[in-house]
Copies of this chain bind each other. A is one copy, B any other.
Amino acid sequence: MCRVRGLCVIGLGLIGGSVLRAAAAAGWEVWGSSIGSDAEAAATSGYRVLDLPQALRQAAEVEALTLLAVPLPAVDEILTAVHEHAPTVRLTDVVSVKAPVMEAVLRKAPKARYIGGHPMAGSAESGWEAGSTELFRGAPWAISTTVSGGDGSMDIDVWSEVATLALDCGAHVVPVGPAAHDAAVARISHLPHVLAAVLASVGAEAGPLALTLAAGSFADGTRVAGSEPELVLSMCEGNAAALLPALDEALGRLGAARGAFASTRSLEATITGGHAARVRWDEHRARQAASGIPVHIDLHAPEAPQALLGVGEQGGWITALQAGVAIATVPRSA
């Protein structure tokens, strides 16, 4: 296609602002809408910032992809505006949970052609000023294969547009089902925030001497406790159904460690198990960086959604889209 792709970004904080910049750098025609100081900061940086109805009407008019980059508690309100001003727009998001956003779309903007997304990048900073075109370089970007409404079959047109956006931002596309996504991020993204908060509190309670002696392990273990609490809360609380069992698993493991330590003075199972797990992750990433098993998926084939999901379940990702074919790699086994 030779047409210029259009992108309307609602919410110009760290993530939305970075997508806006990266997409513009990749040649998309972009505009956005935001509240507070982010709107002014983006406009001052030279980007087109409109009010919400204007931005959405513009998206409807030129059939632009619309990206919701607001915290979960703000999603309903934005979707109501989508339904009013751009009811059938192609829609995606960057919210850190996928099942609740899908439900919200079905409730509030049922005609929108929605494919959920979640780029796995960020920082402890927030707001437009913290963003950059490079934020997503090499990062995984989860994209759902489930569509809202209709017969449940995947809308290739929308899916390709969202995947192209992620690839143009420098990310790799990881196809996910909403429930599998939410269970995974509960363990590798939301639980880390809860543990960081617990560690920070235990450390700070220990007084000035402990705060002076605290170094690398405390700095790393508490880094994400520095994130905006409102953003962390909306992320964790929006994923309660999946986070609760992850918390229980962490509690169970920590309780077992405590019990073994008290009775045998040994932490061997905990520490060697944790080390093996971390090494497994390092090896997983190394296998991803190495040339994996190439998989080509014809997006117009009826089995495309299952094939895409299979790539994600095996730890693979999509690195390019060419003429309706997704080019994926799956890491080789250890």
Task: Identify A123's interface contact among B216, B237, B278, B282, CB under 8 A.
Answer: B216
Task: Identify A270's interface contact among B139, B174, B194, B276, CB under 8 A.
Answer: B194
Q: By the criterion CB–CB under 8 Å, are A244 and B261 in contact?
A: yes
Q: By the criterion CB–CB under 8 Å, are A270 and B211 in contact?
A: no
Most buried by B among A174, A215, A221: A221
Q: By the criterion CB–CB under 8 Å, are B209 and A189 in contact?
A: no
Q: By the criterion CB–CB under 8 Å, are A197 and B243 in contact?
A: no
Q: By the criterion CB–CB under 8 Å, are B277 and A194 in contact?
A: no
**What sequence of 0s and 1s flags, for each residue 185-198 of chain A, a beta carbon within 8 Å of any chain B beta carbon?**
10111011111111
Contacts of A213 in B (CB 8 A): 120, 140, 142, 174, 176, 181, 184-185, 188-189
Contacts of A300 in B (CB 8 A): none
Most buried by B among A121, A142, A271: A271
Contacts of A233 in B (CB 8 A): 266-268, 271-272
Cβ of A35 under 8 Å from chain B: no
Contacts of A249 in B (CB 8 A): 202, 205
A220-B212 in contact given A198-B253, A258-B251 (Cβ < 8 Å) = no
**What sequence of 0s and 1s flags, for each residue 96-129 of chain A, a beta carbon within 8 Å of any chain B beta carbon?**
0000000000000000000000001111000000
Most buried by B among A142, A183, A199: A199
Interface size of A in residues (CB-CB distance below 8 Å): 101
State the main secondary structure of chain A at its contact with B. helix
A247 to B285 alpha-carbon distance, docked (Å): 31
Q: By the criterion CB–CB under 8 Å, are A317 and B212 in contact?
A: yes
Q: By the criterion CB–CB under 8 Å, are B216 and A312 in contact?
A: no
Q: By the criterion CB–CB under 8 Å, are B209 and A273 in contact?
A: no
A residues whose Cβ falls under 8 Å from a Cβ of B: 120-123, 139-140, 142, 174, 176, 180-181, 183-185, 187-189, 191-218, 220-227, 229, 232-233, 236-237, 240, 243-244, 246-251, 253-255, 257-258, 261-262, 265-268, 270-282, 284-285, 288, 312-317, 331
